[in-house]
Amino acid sequence: MSTTIPRPGARHRRKRVGCGESSGHGKTSGKGHKGQKARSGGSIRLGFEGGQMPLIRRIPKRGFNNSDFATRYAPVNLGALDAFADGSKVDESALRSRGIVKGNWDGVKILGGGKLKPKNLTVEAHAFSGSAKAALEAVGGKLTLLKS
């Protein structure tokens, strides 16, 4: 395996502050003269505007946002199902045990990406894309649609 070297200009020297006047980062070490941002530990939180009402609070919030109620499916491509043997049963617990699905999801959706090698799979999922459904049926697979 060959080691790759980064492209020219991709790596930068770290800024060494406080190393003499001629370095360009001496004396005040790039912090200017006095003020809140020049102090040790002096940083202001994101969005703070010096006491003025911050922009995010000035803008009116209207309407309904569905993101809290949306159904989020774990996407699984057909190519990932190659980890299973011919004729095996594929469900969410089997996918999680193989490390294909991780994290907190409302269900599993099988997508049509990749080539499917195993035959006669029994796949249980909460949703299927059209291309995944066609590809599974073409190799003799059985689909079971689960309730979300």
> pLDDT over 90 for what percent of the chain?
49
| pLDDT in the model for residue 106 | 93
Fold type of domain 72-145? Ribosomal Protein L15; Chain: K; domain 2 (3.100.10)
What is the overall mean pLDDT for the chain? 90
pTM above 0.85, yes or no: no
Q: What's the confidence (pLDDT) of residue 1?
A: 59
- What does the pLDDT look like over 63-73, one tens digit per residue? 888 888 999 99
pLDDT digits (tens, 9 = 90+) for 103-142: 999 999 999 988 888 888 899 999 999 999 999 988 888 8
Half-sphere exposure of 129 (CA within 13 A, CB side): 14
Phi first, then psi: what are they for 44, rounded to 5°?
-110, 150
The residue type of 4 is T
**In the chain, where the domains are located:** 72-145
Report CA dihedral (25, 27, 28, 29) to the nearest 10 degrees. 30
Contact status, residue 80 vs residue 132, Cβ threshold 8 Å: no
